[in-house]
Structure 1
Amino acid sequence: MNRFLFKHIDNTGLVLWRVVFGALIAIEGFGAIASGWVRRTLVEPKFTFNFIGFEFLQPLPGDLMYWYFALMGTFGVLVMLGYKYRFGMFCYALMWSCVYLMQKSSYNNHYYLMMLLCWLMVFLPANRWFSIDARQSSELKSPSMPRWVLLVLILQVWIVYTYGSIAKWYPGWFDASVPALFMKSKSDYWLVGGLLQENWVHWCIAYVGILFDLLIVPLLLWKRTRLAAFIVSIFFHLFNSIIFQIGIFPYMSMAFAFFFFSSEILQKRFLPKKKLYTKGEIIVPNYKPALLTIFSVYFIIQIGLPLRHWFFKDDVLWTEEGHRLSWRMMLRSKAGSLTVWIKEKGDTEKKRYNYNLLLSKKQQRAVKSKPDMLWQLAQRIKQIEEKNGKKDVEVYMDSYIRVNTGIYNQLTNPEIDLAAQPWQHFKHTDWILPSPEGFARKK
């Protein structure tokens, strides 16, 4: 165990990863301002749909969220340069975690992955070479790292890709109908728009997606297939970047290659002045028990979270229970319609409520098909109406959704007051109606 985990190996891959990762998270911080993401997601909305239990996390008032993201971008630059590395990485991890937990209207799996990687990087010795910190401190400078550092990063990436593949093992992906739905909105793309509507392209996307996610890590681990797998990875992620426009995630994924290529190759290509470490010392730290405990618990959680939807009643595609934090990437297309009714104590009839006045356009699209967001909207409406002088306000949600190629079906029980219902974190929510048979398929 000591030889496997605590043998020191060359740290060139980790150092290069820190530089690229720092640059990418800096781009994420500054780019969110430039692209209007901060404005649309955190400035314009009157409130945000935070992760339930984190209601205290709300955007800063006025233009302060722009300064917030500019500061995050600056911390990203510190990480890239390796200056005050742990301070910069900790601050970015904390600030990004707050952003992630304070809103769900713009949910992406790579936001979650960024949060995990940021916290992992806080504890990794990524600034011991090719950094300002290392130049300023001879005690800190080192060409090596314990092997467990590399294993932690590879295992995290492996979990993401493997569950990304497993989640696609369902009829809507096997028959290529879901990729076809995604491609419909790309028909106006210059040069490739027409090609993306071809049936054979949809089948390629479906099965290349399944096989790539399942096999890419094993193929990168095996020396004989590593180069070919990396070339395929470049094409795969550039395709995703151009077609789906998903920010820094494809480039972060390509940078994962630093974990797999040998230090000899990386050192020759990128850091020729760095002396290759080959001593292979085994240094067991005093904190070994704490290290093993923390990472064992962490990876048990990472392996368990994507499986939790199997313990909820009904299909996760319908209920969304267990969808988040599970690497369920690009699995379904949803549309919805929503009518909200309210009734004050003593009233005999419900009154229609214009909820659109409370929400941004992005929030309006997201809330219609997400039960947890419907519940949060009901709580918000109750608070607003009672603040305006009404008493014992009841809120009813009449929601219909369409999943993939299916037809519209009623999602919520319109006779239940959602404002009076507690949120169930660990059990099925009964006011979500049972999924109709074949709800995600053409009838």
Structure 2
Amino acid sequence: MSQSHTPGIPLRERLAQPVDVAAIAVFRIVFGLVLLWEVVRFFSYGWIRSYYIDPPVHFTYPGFAWVQPLPGEWMYGFFAVMGLLALCVMVGFAYRLSMPLLTFGFWYWFLLEKARYQNHFYLIGLLALILCCIPAHAAFSFDSWKKPETRRSTVPAWMLWLLRFQIAIPFVYGGIAKITPDWLRGEPMRIWLEEQAGLPVIGPWFTEEWVVYFFSYGGLIFDLVIIPLLIWRRTRVCAYCLALAFNLTNSQLFHIGIFPWFLIGATTIYFEPDWPRRVIRKLRGGIESANSIAPQTGGRPRLSRGLCGALIVYAALQCAIPFHHYLYPGPSVWSYEGEYFVWHMRLATKISGIRFHVTDPQTVQSVVHDPNELLPLWQADLMSVNPEMIRQYAHFLAERSSGQSGKRVEVRAEVLNSLNGREPQPLIDRQVDLAAIPFSIRPADWIVPLEDPLPGTWRPDPAVAARLLSENPR
């Protein structure tokens, strides 16, 4: 079936041409299955309690401080509903209701905790919004089985290409983001591979310089070329095998959750639109399924100007937003200014030491606060490398102290970070009262610029956080 790239046909007509819905239906199944798997993981590993119930404070996105976890044990009920909705989407049951509800629930889940930000969660949220606009239940679904009026064999090509476009964005911008002095010098890949040196058989190879550069440059090149190779029919099979090997390697070495497995299924969207029907025909010995539908025929449809304009605006935003970190000085992996929603995937590793000083301005008496005494380890670690989260935590400490004593207090932070093997240096101006600093989208003058432009060979010992601060007293 045509993929609507016939030369000489106007774009609005090409995007409106019918393509088989089968590949989109399989994408829906993969999407629902992966989200169901993620919900099961949250129950199995106790993450619902450790991420959303136990922490005394949750770091929020600007403008979304009102988004908070449900009280008490109700978060378990929320995740149970999310699992049920993911199952409904996977099997295509009540899709027109379950998909929007799943999307709404997912974005609530996403916004609950900024310290849990992950690029693949952001991608899933965007794909969920797209799936709300696509009849992905038109084939291989409970709805299409029970409701013949729902069943259809084709959809306009823009639906297929919008999914393809959205999947391509993280790869392309992830590759561009790797063109940095650190990555080209093998950092932080060198540090990550050193951590795997204890693996049997292959572990000793990970300390070899050629292996470090193979992984670093291989990852950069893979991100930049894999989508064109998947789109081009002649290289598609080899490209998918390469993507399969890449994702399996990522899963085993770097333990990045559901993302590699999701991509293994999601990148099948670049196959021919009718590939699932071809597979079914081969499994049936070449016999067409009785439930299959003949392709729809007719004149030359054309996309409406309004829909075409909306697609252009969406694509332009997705292409522009990843560059917003250039509005801020210095590398965003250091300051975290403009670091969100830009597809900077695993570009940095940081070692940090942090402590706060809560001061009564009237008596000038200070109390040293270790965030590990209050926050779970995962949350304290992520906060200690992110200046905006450090500012949020300072406000939390000020409100907590004022509530106990009835007095306004000042909160300052001593933070030392090592980025990609550099010698540790201050991240925050320790003289600034962070409790008096409001949120601003402007560059923060209280963030200390990165002094060493290139990574070094500094490596910490297990007690690095305590040692860093004890060697750099106030």
Into which bin does the TM-score normalised by the smaller protein fall? over 0.9
Is 1:177 the counterpart of 2:187? The answer is yes
Deviation at 1:350, TM superposition (A): 3.0
Contact preservation (8 Å) 2:352, 2:415: yes
Amino acid at match of 1:362: W
Contact preservation (8 Å) 2:206, 2:212: yes
Residue matched to 2:453: 438
Q: Distance in 1 between matches of 2:40 and 2:305?
A: 39
C-alpha deviations, 1:32-58, integer Å up to 9, x for none? 211232232222212211223211122
Deviation at 1:275, TM superposition (A): 4.5
Residue matched to 2:387: 371
Matches for 1:113-262 after TM superposition, within 5 Å: 113-262=123-272
TM-score, normalised with respect to structure 2: 0.88
Matches for 1:31-42 after TM superposition, within 5 Å: 31-42=41-52
Give the 3-state SS of the residue equivalent to 1:313 in structure 2: coil
Deviation at 1:289, TM superposition (A): 4.0
C-alpha deviations, 1:222-265, integer Å up to 9, x for none? 11111110111111111111111222211221223332211344
Percent of aligned pairs with the same amino acid: 28
Residue matched to 1:277: 295
Deviation at 1:424, TM superposition (A): 1.5
Q: Distance in 2 between matches of 1:276 and 1:430?
A: 64
Q: Distance in 1 between matches of 2:126 and 2:266?
A: 14
Q: Distance in 1 between matches of 2:309 and 2:413?
A: 45
Q: Distance in 1 between matches of 2:334 and 2:157?
A: 42
Residue matched to 1:48: 58
Range with greater deviation from structure 2 (395-404 or 242-251) = 242-251
Q: Distance in 2 between matches of 1:44 and 1:219?
A: 46
C-alpha deviations, 1:393-431, integer Å up to 9, x for none? 111111111100101101111111111111112x20111
Range with greater deviation from structure 2 (396-405 or 429-438) = 429-438
Amino acid at match of 2:91: L
Contact preservation (8 Å) 2:332, 2:339: yes
Is 1:62 the counterpart of 2:62? The answer is no
Give the 3-state SS of the residue equivalent to 1:395 in structure 2: strand
Deviation at 1:119, TM superposition (A): 1.2
Is 1:301 the counterpart of 2:317? The answer is yes
Give the 3-state SS of the residue equivalent to 2:239 in structure 1: helix
Q: Distance in 2 between matches of 1:14 and 1:379?
A: 46
Amino acid at match of 1:294: A
C-alpha deviations, 1:301-334, integer Å up to 9, x for none? 2111110111112221221111111110110001
Amino acid at match of 2:224: L
Deviation at 1:284, TM superposition (A): 4.4
Residue matched to 1:337: 353
Range with greater deviation from structure 2 (39-48 or 108-117) = 39-48
Q: Distance in 2 between matches of 1:422 and 1:95?
A: 30
CA gap of 1:196–1:276, structure 2 versus 1, over 3 A, is: farther
Q: Distance in 2 between matches of 1:198 and 1:261?
A: 37
Q: Distance in 1 between matches of 2:264 and 2:298?
A: 28
Q: 1:384 aligns with which of 381, 397, 400?
A: 400
Amino acid at match of 2:236: R
Is 1:87 the counterpart of 2:94? The answer is no
Residue matched to 1:100: 110
Q: Distance in 1 between matches of 2:183 and 2:35?
A: 31
Contact preservation (8 Å) 1:341, 1:396: yes
Q: Distance in 1 between matches of 2:147 and 2:51?
A: 41
C-alpha deviations, 1:59-111, integer Å up to 9, x for none? 22222222211211111100011011122111111111112111122332111
Give the 3-state SS of the residue equivalent to 2:203 in structure 1: coil
Q: 2:37 aligns with which of 7, 11, 27?
A: 27
Residue matched to 1:291: 307
Give the 3-state SS of the residue equivalent to 2:230 in structure 1: helix
Deviation at 1:349, TM superposition (A): 3.8
Give the 3-state SS of the residue equivalent to 1:336 in structure 2: strand
CA gap of 1:296–1:348, structure 2 versus 1, over 3 A, is: same
C-alpha deviations, 1:168-203, integer Å up to 9, x for none? 111221122311111222234455433433333222
Range with greater deviation from structure 2 (214-223 or 271-280) = 271-280
Amino acid at match of 1:207: Y
Give the 3-state SS of the residue equivalent to 2:72 in structure 1: coil
Residue matched to 2:367: 351
Contact preservation (8 Å) 1:237, 1:251: yes
Q: Distance in 2 between matches of 1:313 and 1:263?
A: 44
Segments of 5+ residues of structure 2 without an aligned counterpart are 1-10, 282-287, 459-474
Q: Distance in 1 between matches of 2:90 and 2:269?
A: 17
Amino acid at match of 1:277: P
Amino acid at match of 1:102: L
Q: Distance in 2 between matches of 1:342 and 1:435?
A: 26
Cα RMSD for the two superposed structures:
1.9
TM-score, normalised with respect to structure 1: 0.94
Q: Distance in 1 between matches of 2:450 and 2:301?
A: 56
C-alpha deviations, 1:144-189, integer Å up to 9, x for none? 0000001111111221110000111112211223111112222344
